[in-house]
Chain A
Amino acid sequence: MALSFIKDPRIYQIVTLSGLLAFGWTAHAFEIDPVQFAAIVLASCATQWLGSILIAIRPDFKSPLITSLSLTLLLRADAVWPLAAAAAIAIGSKFALRLGGKHVFNPANIGIVAMVLFTDAAWTSPGQWGTAVWFAALLAGAGLFVTYRSARFDVPLVFLGVYAALVFARALWLGDPMAIPLLRLENGALILFAFFMISDPKTSPDGAIARAAFAGGAAVLAYLMIFHFYITDGLFYSLALMCIARPLLEWIDPAPHYRWGDPVAPLGGIRKQKQSKTNSVHPVPAE
């Protein structure tokens, strides 16, 4: 029992995200009110509880907590209600929008997209993280660990690899100094998105090839939206679009669904993967 509790990668995720939030608060990087945070947690847990009752399962509050932390880190509003609404939409979507036994959208992602796209009450602050390299590295390290635990080590690497390749290629083509692509990649929100949002095993495909296509596709979409269409929230839209396309990817490359606490990839496998980035040797988690 105790062991299975520790095996659940969500514990690590909650700890890491809480640490980031605490850092953001003390370093004054994030402007979010404790009342807003409380409202997000309350709304997401209440929605989780309600949804669980409706489909008659035991409510688990780890997922809504992670969603709450992600929303707190990435979404901003003047009032309290838009954040609470984002949390309710995020968790509600898990119960309402399902396909093939999985929820369609990444909860925090769809909460953000819905509020930014359909209301005038919330916004994201992609630049607010600052570009201190060490901070991004810290995030990445912590993120790697979290995703390794949840057997989705490849998603952030593929996503960041493809995105970075595109950003660098653009700079090379334009003849820009490398400081420009580096500035864009040293963005805390980007790293957080890669390691804590898109890597969610419940909303990324289970097959390794499908997963690589999912992460790579999101990177290409995000790059196009941000650099060619100047859509500042392109990062979040790209994931929502890939989630819509996900059933197709899963149909092409079917695999058993991931469950929290499934065995993780052995370390050797991960090393191998690091070298060849996008190959498909990632072990499929056992059902």
Chain B
Amino acid sequence: MNRSLRKSLFAAASAIAAITVTGGAVAFCGFYVGKADTKLFNKASKVAIMRDGERTVITMANDFQGELTEFATVIPVPVVLEEEQIHVTENAILDHLDAYTAPRLVEYFDEDPCMVYDRMEMMAAPSSVALEDGAKLRKRDSLGVTIEAEYTVGEYDIQILSADQSDGLATWLKQNGYKLPEGAEETLESYIKQGTKFFVAKVNLEEQTATGLKYLRPLQIAFESPKFMLPIRLGTLNADGKQELFAFMLTRTGRVETTNYRTVKLPTGMDIPTYVKNDFGSFYKSMFEQQVEKENERAVFLEYAWDMNWCDPCAADPLSQDELRELGVYWIGGGDKPGIMPRRPMPQARNVFVTRLHISYDAEHFPEDLMFKETNDRSNYQGRYVLRHAYKGDAQCEAAEQYRANLPKRFESEAQTLANLTGWDIDDIREDMNEAGQPFEEPKKDSWWKLLWGNDAKDG
């Protein structure tokens, strides 16, 4: 088999995807808490975008799983990029951003009902950083394709192409060993007419070996453009079925939303049955799929919108100054103290707002690239699901009686919530809840005289 010809064409977000190699281990303090990170979803791409005015830095995770020689990507970019505008970073930073913004499960334990109620919740995680660079040139071509520049950055060989005609570009790509999916020419034509350049990256095996890594690191590009968008059209061409995209937006002003698709907040803050703790992942996936369905598969979902200075509860620490700078947040200084986990806004505000968008897309429901807008909305939002453990102790008082009598009603409402959110069968849920110690039958009430004299009356 001709290996070079089997190189496949990925595009933007699709090539640029989740990594599962260096997952940031989560250090729990106190009670267990779970999170639903991007690893739950197959074919998930992760992209971080710093946007401030027209300044843009895009960081694209690379989840390519096959032979490294077969990796190739074509990404539409608005301008010809200089070598200094291209960079390779570490997966750990995107993993950290993923962990920090992930939908979270929190847990409360009911106190002794005879005492005053109290609550508890917990969470935590780690971080890391890196750097790299390359070389330069310029060529022309009979196909109307101009190689505007060529660089080696990190383990990638990069070319920036501009083209007059899509068939010329298509031929060029084919000649250079790219396999073009059907419909690619039309889409390339549209990009060419809009003055788009093409960022083409392959793996430089020597450089890759030198890194000593078994995976490909995220590529970064920095540029200025009035277009605030993410090209997804090429990626939908060769996709079988839907693709998942996680876009992490780092802005100065506020939340980011799409202008050509509806951005919807996922349901949050609900009490759900405690057994979900064992499988938060499948709960979250089912819930997400249910919401996608509900919005006719055409919505972009908001999973997190928060001031980067803090979190509550924290699924992971906020990103460090160094990490943020690495992701393109140029307006903050580097170097800060590690090991902080602020639950409240820190006094030295860093003015970074993070938005996590989750998109499940295909060509049919998302025909156009994602167009974004930064709003002035600084209100915080997080995907947060609550487990409320009933008090198990042997409390004896009027309040305890009432508390226990109310539990089945509470469990039932949790069951209903879970069924509504996930579309799971309510009877299955009830069964699982019963097994997990959340029964629905009313506890036997003690007679009032038992309460009066107690059932452990001592002789004497």
Minimal Cβ-Cβ distance residue in A for B54: A230
A140 to B254: give the CA distance in the assembly, Å. Answer: 32
Is A127 among interface residues, defined by CB-CB distance under 8 A?
Answer: yes
Is B260 among interface residues, defined by CB-CB distance under 8 A?
Answer: yes
Contact of A229 among B226, B228, B262, B377 (CB under 8 A): B226
Q: Is the CB of A123 within 8 A of B228?
A: no
Known: A230-B226, A230-B228. A177 touches B367 (CB 8 A): yes
Interface-side segment among B15-23, B186-194, B270-278, B448-456:
B186-194
Contact of A122 among B190, B263, B376 (CB under 8 A): B376
* B395-421 interface (Cβ within 8 A of A): none
Q: Is the CB of A127 within 8 A of B259?
A: yes
* A149-184 interface (Cβ within 8 A of B): 173-177, 179-180, 183-184
* A5-47 interface (Cβ within 8 A of B): 29
Known: A78-B378, A229-B226. A127 touches B263 (CB 8 A): yes
Is B69 among interface residues, defined by CB-CB distance under 8 A?
Answer: no
Contact code string B368-399 (vs A, CB < 8 Å = 1, else 0): 10010101111100000000000000000000
Is A120 among interface residues, defined by CB-CB distance under 8 A?
Answer: yes
Interface-side segment among A85-93, A128-136, A198-206, A273-281:
A128-136
A230 to B373: give the CA distance in the assembly, Å. Answer: 10
| Nearest Cβ on chain B to A31's Cβ, whole angstroms | 8
A187 to B373: give the CA distance in the assembly, Å. Answer: 16
Q: Is the CB of A123 within 8 A of B377?
A: yes
Q: Is the CB of B375 within 8 A of A130?
A: no
Query: Which B residues are CB-close (under 8 A) to A77?
Result: 376
* A81-128 interface (Cβ within 8 A of B): 119-123, 125-128
Q: Which of B194, B368, B379 has the most CB of A within 10 A?
A: B368
Query: Which A residues are CB-close (under 8 A) to B260?
Result: 127, 183-184, 187
| Nearest Cβ on chain B to A186's Cβ, whole angstroms | 10
A233 to B377: give the CA distance in the assembly, Å. Answer: 16
Is B253 among interface residues, defined by CB-CB distance under 8 A?
Answer: yes
Is A232 among interface residues, defined by CB-CB distance under 8 A?
Answer: yes
Query: Which B residues are CB-close (under 8 A) to A211?
Result: none
Q: Is the CB of B262 within 8 A of A129?
A: yes
Q: Which of B299, B375, B379 has the most CB of A within 10 A?
A: B375
Contact of B261 among A76, A131, A175, A229 (CB under 8 A): A131
A122 to B298: give the CA distance in the assembly, Å. Answer: 26
A77 to B377: give the CA distance in the assembly, Å. Answer: 7
Query: Which B residues are CB-close (under 8 A) to A120?
Result: 253, 376
Query: Which A residues are CB-close (under 8 A) to B295?
Result: 130
Q: How large is the interface on B (under 10, 10 to 19, 20 to 34, 35 or more residues)?
A: 20 to 34
Q: Is the CB of B376 within 8 A of A121?
A: yes
Q: Is the CB of B377 within 8 A of A78?
A: yes
Query: Which B residues are CB-close (under 8 A) to A229?
Result: 226
| Nearest Cβ on chain B to A61's Cβ, whole angstroms | 30
Contact code string B249-266 (vs A, CB < 8 Å = 1, else 0): 000011001111111000
Query: Which A residues are CB-close (under 8 A) to B373?
Result: 123, 126-127, 232
Query: Which B residues are CB-close (under 8 A) to A187?
Result: 260
Query: Which A residues are CB-close (under 8 A) to B376?
Result: 77-78, 119-123
A180 to B376: give the CA distance in the assembly, Å. Answer: 27
Contact code string A196-233 (vs B, CB < 8 Å = 1, else 0): 00000000000000000000000000000000011010
Given A127-B257, A131-B261: 10 more A-B contacts, CB < 8 Å: A29-B262, A78-B378, A119-B376, A120-B253, A120-B376, A125-B263, A128-B262, A128-B263, A230-B227, A232-B259
| Chain A residues engaging chain B, CB cutoff 8 angstroms | 29, 76-78, 119-123, 125-132, 173-177, 179-180, 183-184, 187, 229-230, 232
Q: Could you give 12 example pairs across A and B, Cβ below 8 Å?
A: A119-B376, A122-B376, A123-B376, A126-B373, A127-B258, A127-B262, A128-B262, A130-B262, A175-B189, A176-B190, A184-B368, A232-B371
Q: Top 7 A-B pairs ranked by shortest CB distance?
A: A179-B367, A123-B375, A174-B190, A130-B262, A230-B226, A232-B373, A180-B368
